[in-house]
Amino acid sequence: MDKLYLRQLLSGRDFAVGNMAAEQMANFVYLIGDHEQGVCIVVDPAWDIAGIINIAQADNMKIVGALATHYHPDHVGGHLWGFNIEGLAELIAQNPCPVHTHKLEKAGILTVTQLSDSDIIAHESGDFVMAGDIAIEMIHTPGHTPGSCCFRIKNSLVSGDTLFLRGCGRVDLPGGNVEEMHRTINERLNNIADNTMVYPGHSYSGDHDSMGQLRKDNPVFRHVDLGSFKRLFS
């Protein structure tokens, strides 16, 4: 058995079954951990916390922490378009554990989830969060929100709403910034190896693909100059 435990869960299929909003949003939640020690960290828990916990328990894994890619309610819980979405608050109530995020995203998460300041550990880019002996590297990738992060685990990258298989996150929402997204795509993610498997925050164009394939097929990588990149969003 591989020591690394990495499980991708899709809302409306693997959890939150029967929830039409969850199915339409097509959020991915990730369980990342250490098979040998039986511990994992959940990335972007939302929509159905009991269902997510049950999946981890069925795999004989205990959730010992949470990672948030960014503060939007479909990833951390809160109110969105008239829906009350379960998230980090329910996770802490049912399975007490620390929440890890980038320091620039902490305020947004506190606002939408109503968590206490002490519930969240704020990080710098390059910090590591451990799940047993499995190291998860936090990479600051602003553009969708100021503190958006991707998480690198060995040769895998959980990219949240920063990078999809055939696009990237929106830049027209509060905190979005097209210049920062351009810099993220062309500079901050430039050192991610082609054989790295990318796992996005939504199932918009599939569930995963290699970074090398994304560099060939994803239009955001074909617009290196800022002016051309901006036209993707016009």
Distance CA 117, CA 149 (A): 19
Give the tens place of pLDDT for each residue, 23-49: 999 999 999 999 999 999 999 999 999
Q: 226 pLDDT exceeds 80?
A: yes
Distance CA 113, CA 76 (A): 7
pLDDT at 68: 98
pLDDT at 2: 87
Here the tokens at position 106 are 């902490």
Top pLDDT among 82 and 75 is at 75
pLDDT at 194: 97
SS3 183: helix
What values do phi and psi take at 232, rounded to 5? Answer: -65, -25
SS3 125: coil
Q: Is the Cβ–Cβ distance between 193 and 233 less than 8 Å?
A: no
Model confidence band, residue 104 (pLDDT cutoffs 50, 70, 90): very high
The residues spanned by each domain of the chain are 4-231
Q: 1 pLDDT exceeds 70?
A: no
Model confidence band, residue 224 (pLDDT cutoffs 50, 70, 90): confident
Task: From 126, 138, 131, 112, select the one nearest 46 (Cα to Cα).
Answer: 112
What values do phi and psi take at 29, rounded to 5? Answer: -115, 145
Q: Is the Cβ–Cβ distance between 128 and 136 less than 8 Å?
A: yes
- Topology of the domain covering 4-231: Metallo-beta-lactamase; Chain A (3.60.15)
Give the tens place of pLDDT for each residue, 160-199: 999 999 999 999 999 999 999 999 999 999 999 999 999 9
Here the tokens at position 211 are 């970074």
Q: 220 pLDDT exceeds 70?
A: yes
